[in-house]
Amino acid sequence: MSTGLPAGREEAGATVRVRRVWLWRWRRNELRHRSHAVEGWVLLILGVAGFVGAPLGGAVAWDTVLEGRARQLTERHLIDAVLVEDPAPAARGSTRTRATVRWTASDGTAHTARVPVGSHLERGARVPVWTDQDGAMTSAPPAPAAARFDAAAAALTVTVGLGFLVLAVHRLVRRRHERRRAAQWDRDWARVAPEWDRRTA
């Protein structure tokens, strides 16, 4: 029999066991408020959303990152640019310096930019550069291993973030309903207390 006392609490020298009742928010009883049923449905929806939505969001993040890399591979091209000047001497302890290179895009327009090159190269040497669809210089697409790492990091971040969001909403809903029930209890007790005091006086 449920007494409303915490499990294992000693009362008058005896240990009182409280039986857990599953799905009590949906069962009819005199102590259940309408807010209990509403809270139960909200928490059930949040549980399903967290169980399904968090992994699904992580999978979407994984696919989005990998699709972005695949798109970069189709949009970016590695071409040979030509050094238009002899590179300046490299800094002490380094074999790289910066120099101006020139290349021609697929539409025939000429482009120039300063890029890192080996200090041993001479004017007229060919230097590989990555360009976008417009022929402008861009960064190299991420390597497969780096793309998978970024995808895994994004998937983990989204999954954990959605999980914490569901837990936060769960806690907010529960506290809100508990405050409402406490306020209702105070109002009911204020109405009943005078009659109760007269009977027990």
Quick one: 153 and 136 in the same domain?
A: no
End residue of a domain, out of 140, 165, 192:
140
Quick one: 149 and 54 in the same domain?
A: yes
Assess if residue 133 is contained within a domain.
Answer: yes
Which segments in the chain show pLDDT lower than 70?
1-36, 197-201
- pLDDT (tens digit per residue) in 170-182: 888 888 878 887 8
In three-state secondary structure terms, 40 is helix
Q: What is the pTM of this model?
A: 0.56
pLDDT at 3: 43
Q: ∠ CA(3), CA(6), CA(12), 5° rounding?
A: 70
Q: Which amino acid is at 162?
A: L
User: Which string of DSSP letters, residue by residue, matches 46-80?
Assistant: HHHIIIIIHHHHHHHHHHHHHHHHHHHHHH-EEEE
Quick one: 105 and 193 in the same domain?
A: no
Q: Which domain holds residue 32?
A: 27-72+145-200
pLDDT at 93: 82
In three-state secondary structure terms, 29 is coil
- pLDDT (tens digit per residue) in 40-49: 777 788 888 8
Q: Which two tokens stand for residue 156?
A: 């983990």
pLDDT at 83: 94
Q: In the chain, how many domains are there?
A: 2
Quick one: 67 and 150 in the same domain?
A: yes
pLDDT at 30: 59
End residue of a domain, out of 93, 125, 140:
140
What ranges make up the beta strands (E) of 105-193?
A: 110-118, 126-131
Quick one: 128 and 167 in the same domain?
A: no
By C-alpha distance, which of 41, 38, 30, 121 is closest to 81? Answer: 121
